[in-house]
C-alpha cells in the first residue's frame, strides 16, 4: 500500500485507568504499523499509569498530564477545556477510545466498549443505586458522542445493532473491529479425559473468570455446580474476579454460604493479576461464561484461545463470537447452566470437538489485525473530513 503523508493522530487516554480499555490501547499500539496508513505520528495524552505502560515507538509521543491522575471532575474539566486546544494544535484527527467526544473535537473517532448503558433491561438491575445514575449519565454522554463523531468503532455487530436501534443515527461512518487476544492465553486443546478419570481427589475443574457484578450471574453458576455435585459428579468451581458493587458481593457471599459453606468444591479467588491470569485458564478443564450483557466478551475470547470447552450464555454477542463451538444456556436459569455443563462433562468427544472449534475461531482475533483495521479506519475518516473542509 502506498504511504500517504500528513496524518497525525491524537488519542485521548484521560479516562483509561485500568482494565480492558488500557489493555486495548496498549496492545493495539504495540502491534501498530501507522506508516502503512499514512500516519506519521500518534500522540497519547494520559495519566501516569497509562503512559508508563505504553510501548516505546519512534512514531509514538506519550504525554503525561498530572491533571489526569486526579479525580473525575478534574479529568472532565481537562477533556472539555484543555483537550480541544491540544487536538487542534497537535493532530489531524482525534481518537477517543473511552466513548467520549463532542463537536468541539471534530474531526474525531470514538469507540463503544460498554454496552451496559444502552441495555434498558440490564440497567434495571441497578435501580435505586448510585450505579443506576452513573449508567444513565454514561448513556446520555456517550449517545451525544456517538451522534456527533465523524466515525464510531463497535466491537461486535450485536453491539452495533443494539446501540444504533437505541439512539438512532450514529457517526458519519461506522465499523465493527473486535479486540485481539494476548498470545499468553493461547494453548492448543488438550486430550479430554473420560468421566471415570475424575474423582473427589482429582475433580473436573470448572473455571469462571469475570468481575462479580449483577449481570455476571456467578450465583446462578454456583447453584448449577451445587446441583451437579448433588448428582454425584466430581466437579470443582473456581471463580476469579473482584467486586464492583456491594449488592453483587452480598449475593455471591450468600450463595457460597448456602451451596458450599465449607469451601469444599467452590473457591472464590478474588481478583488475579492480568499477567498471571493465563495460568488459571491452562489449568482448567471446562470454562463457563454466564454474562448477560457484553459489548465484546474479552474473557470468552481468552477461554477460546486457551483451548477450553465452553458452556456459555446465549445472551448478547456471545453466539456471534463463539458460534457453534459451545453449549449454550440462559444465564438466569441454573438448571440450564447445569444441563449444559453436564452435557459436556459426560461427553469427552463433544468437549474435544467444541474446544478445537473454539480455538480455531479464536485465531481470527489478533491485536495486529485490530491495530491494522483501527488505524485504517481512522486514516480514512481523517481524509474524508479533510476533503469536506
Q: Which three three-digit cell numbers place residue 91?
A: 493532530
What is the spatial distance between Cα 204 and Cα 193, in angstroms, rounded to a whole number? 9
pLDDT score for 106: 80
What is the spatial distance between Cα 210 and Cα 65, in angstroms, rounded to a whole number? 31
pLDDT (tens, 9 = 90+) of the chain, 389 residues, equals 334 457 999 999 998 887 788 999 999 999 999 999 999 999 999 999 999 999 999 999 999 999 999 988 899 899 989 999 999 999 999 999 988 888 778 899 999 999 999 998 999 999 888 888 989 989 999 999 999 999 999 999 999 999 998 887 766 899 999 999 999 999 999 999 999 999 999 999 999 999 999 999 999 999 999 999 999 999 999 999 999 889 999 999 999 999 999 999 999 999 999 899 999 999 999 999 999 999 999 999 999 999 999 999 999 999 999 999 999 999 999 999 999 999 999 999 999 999 999 999 999 999 999 999 999 999 999 998 877 65
Alpha carbon distances (Å) from 86 to 11, 66, 154, 313? 11, 15, 26, 43
Considering the entire predicted model, what is its pTM? Answer: 0.92
pLDDT score for 2: 38
Decide the pairing of beta strands 266-268 and 108-111: unpaired
CA angle 325, 331, 334 (to 5 degrees): 110
Q: Which three three-digit cell numbers place residue 228?
A: 451437579
pLDDT score for 76: 87
What is the spatial distance between Cα 4 and Cα 151, in angstroms, rounded to a whole number? 20
Where in 303-352 does DSSP place strands (E)? 310-313, 327-329
What is the spatial distance between Cα 102 and Cα 215, in angstroms, rounded to a whole number? 30
What is the spatial distance between Cα 389 and Cα 373, in angstroms, rounded to a whole number? 25
Identify whether the C-beta of residue 28 lies closer than 8 Å to the C-beta of residue 54: no
**Number of Cβ atoms within 10 Å of the Cβ of 124:** 10
pLDDT score for 3: 40
Of 125, 284, 138, the C-alpha closest to 299 is 284
Q: What are phi and psi of 220, to 5 degrees?
A: -70, -35
Identify whether the C-beta of residue 164 lies closer than 8 Å to the C-beta of residue 140: no
Amino acid at each position: 500500500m502506498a504511504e500517504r503523508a500528513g496524518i497525525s493522530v491524537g488519542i485521548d487516554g484521560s479516562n483509561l485507568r485500568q482494565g480492558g480499555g488500557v489493555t486495548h490501547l496498549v496492545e493495539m499500539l504495540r502491534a501498530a504499523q501507522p506508516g502503512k496508513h499514512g500516519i506519521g505520528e500518534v500522540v497519547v495524552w494520559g495519566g501516569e499509569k497509562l503512559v508508563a505502560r505504553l510501548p516505546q515507538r519512534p512514531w509514538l509521543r506519550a504525554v503525561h498530564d498530572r491533571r489526569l491522575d486526579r479525580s473525575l471532575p478534574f479529568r472532565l474539566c481537562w477533556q472539555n477545556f484543555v483537550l480541544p486546544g491540544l487536538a487542534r494544535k497537535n493532530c489531524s484527527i482525534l481518537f477517543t477510545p473511552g466513548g467520549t467526544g463532542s463537536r468541539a473535537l471534530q474531526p474525531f473517532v470514538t469507540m463503544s466498549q460498554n454496552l451496559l448503558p444502552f441495555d434498558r433491561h440490564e440497567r434495571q438491575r441497578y435501580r435505586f443505586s448510585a450505579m443506576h445514575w452513573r449508567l444513565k449519565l454514561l448513556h446520555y454522554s456517550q449517545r451525544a458522542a456517538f451522534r456527533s463523531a465523524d466515525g464510531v468503532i463497535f466491537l461486535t455487530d450485536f453491539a452495533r445493532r443494539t446501540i444504533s436501534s437505541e439512539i438512532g443515527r450514529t457517526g458519519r461512518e461506522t465499523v465493527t473491529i473486535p479486540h485481539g487476544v494476548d498470545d499468553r492465553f493461547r494453548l492448543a486443546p488438550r486430550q479430554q479425559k473420560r468421566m471415570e478419570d475424575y474423582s473427589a481427589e482429582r475433580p473436573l475443574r470448572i473455571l469462571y473468570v469475570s468481575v462479580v457484578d449483577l449481570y455476571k450471574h456467578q450465583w446462578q453458576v454456583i447453584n448449577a455446580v451445587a446441583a451437579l455435585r448433588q448428582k454425584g459428579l466430581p466437579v470443582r468451581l473456581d471463580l476469579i474476579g473482584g467486586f464492583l458493587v456491594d449488592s453483587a458481593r452480598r449475593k455471591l457471599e450468600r450463595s457460597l454460604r448456602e451451596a458450599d459453606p465449607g469451601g469444599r468444591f467452590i473457591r472464590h479467588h478474588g481478583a488475579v493479576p492480568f499477567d498471571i491470569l493465563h495460568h488459571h485458564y491452562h489449568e482448567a478443564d471446562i470454562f463457563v461464561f454466564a454474562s448477560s450483557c457484553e459489548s465484546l466478551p474479552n474473557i470468552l475470547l481468552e477461554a477460546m484461545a486457551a483451548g477450553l470447552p465452553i458452556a456459555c450464555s446465549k445472551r448478547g454477542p456471545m453466539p456471534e463470537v463463539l458460534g457453534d463451538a459451545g453449549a449454550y444456556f440462559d444465564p438466569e436459569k441454573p438448571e440450564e447452566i447445569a444441563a449444559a455443563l453436564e452435557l459436556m462433562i459426560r461427553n469427552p468427544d463433544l468437549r474435544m470437538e467444541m474446544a478445537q472449534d473454539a480455538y480455531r475461531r479464536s485465531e481470527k482475533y489478533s491485536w495486529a489485525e485490530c491495530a491494522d483495521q483501527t488505524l485504517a479506519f481512522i486514516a480514512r475518516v481523517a481524509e474524508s473530513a479533510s476533503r469536506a473542509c
